[in-house]
Structure 1
C-alpha cells in the first residue's frame, strides 16, 4: 500500500470529522452569504455557534469553542464592529462583560439554525432517519468522551 493510500481508503476519525465539519461550514456560510450575511467569516462561528440569546461571557465562549480567549476577543471585536453582538455588563457580576447578540445577531442565529436543520434533514434522508439519529447519539458520546479526558 502506497504512503497515504490507507488514509484515503480507511480514513480515521480526525479525517472524517474534518471533512464533515468543513463541508457543513462551507455550505452554511455560503447560504448565509446568499441570505445577506456576506460579511461573516467561518471563524466567526466560534462565537456565534456558542452564543446564548441572553448573552455569554467571553471565557465561556472560549471554553465551549475550544479557542483561546484572545482569539475569541478578536472575533467579538469584529462581530461588534459588524453589528452582530455588543458587550454589556454582566448583571450577576458588574466587573464581567457579556457578549450579547444584537437584533441582527439574533436573526443570523435563527437563520443559521434553519440552514443547519436543512443540512441535517438532508443527511438524515440520505442514510435514514433512525440511522442518522443513532449516528448523532454516537458522535455526541464520542465527542464528550474525548473532551472528558483532556
Structure 2
C-alpha cells in the first residue's frame, strides 16, 4: 500500500489533528466573514483565541498560542490595522504594553465563541455527549503531554 493511501486509511495523530484544525478554522473564519469580519485569517487566531477582554501582554499571547513573540507582534500589528486591537500601557508595569480588544475585537470574540460552541454542539450530537466529553479530555491530555506539560 502506498504511503498516501495508508495515511488516508489510517491517519496518524498529525494528520487527524490537522484535519480537525483546518476544518474548524475553515468554518469559523467563513462564518465570521459572513458576519462582518472578512479581513481575518486563521493566523490571527493565535492572538484572538487567547486575548482577554481586559487585555493581554504579547508575551502571554505567545506563550499560550505556542508562537514566537515576533510572530505575535506581527499579528498584533495586522489586527491593530484592521481595528481589532490596540496597544495600551500596562497599568501594572509602565515598560509593558497590553494588547486590548476594541469594540470590533470584542464583537469578533463573542461571535467566535458562539460559532465554536455550535461546532462543538454538532460534534457532541454526532458522537454522543459522553463520547465527545471523553474525546476532549483525551485530546487535552495528549496535547499537554506533547507540549511537555
Which stretches in structure 1 are left out of the alignment for 5+ residues?
none
Instruction: Report the alpha carbon displacement of residue 8 of structure 1 after superposing the two structures with TM.
Output: 1.3
Distance in 2 (CA, whole Å) between partners of 1:115 and 1:24 is: 10
Describe the superposition over 1:82-124 as per-residue Cα deviations: whole angstroms up to 9, x where unpaired: 1110001111111000100011101110000000000000000
CA RMSD in angstroms comes to 0.9
Q: Measure the CA separation in 1 of the matches of 2:2 and 2:40.
A: 40
Q: Which residue of 2 aligns with 1:7?
A: 7
Distance in structure 2 (CA, Å) of the matches to 1:57 and 1:40: 21
Using the TM superposition, give the Cα deviation of residue 3 of structure 1 relative to its aligned residue in structure 2, in angstroms: 2.9
The answer for the alignment partner of 1:115 in structure 2 is: 115
Deviation readout 1:37-75 (Å, 9 max, x if unpaired):
001111111100010111111111111111111111111
Superposition deviation, residue 5 in structure 1 = 2.1
* C-alpha distance after superposition, 1:7-56 (max 9, x if no partner): 11111100000000000000000000000000111111110001011111
Distance 2:41 2:11 in 1: 28
The answer on 1:133 being equivalent to 2:109 is: no
For 1:105 and 1:7, the matched residues in 2 are separated by: 39
Unpaired segments ≥5 residues, structure 2: none
* TM-score computed with the length of structure 1 as normaliser: 0.96
Of residues 18-27 and 4-13 in structure 1, the stretch that sits farther from structure 2 once superposed is 4-13
In structure 2, C-alpha distance between the alignment counterparts of 1:13 and 1:129, rounded to whole Å: 22
Q: Distance in 1 between matches of 2:135 and 2:17?
A: 12
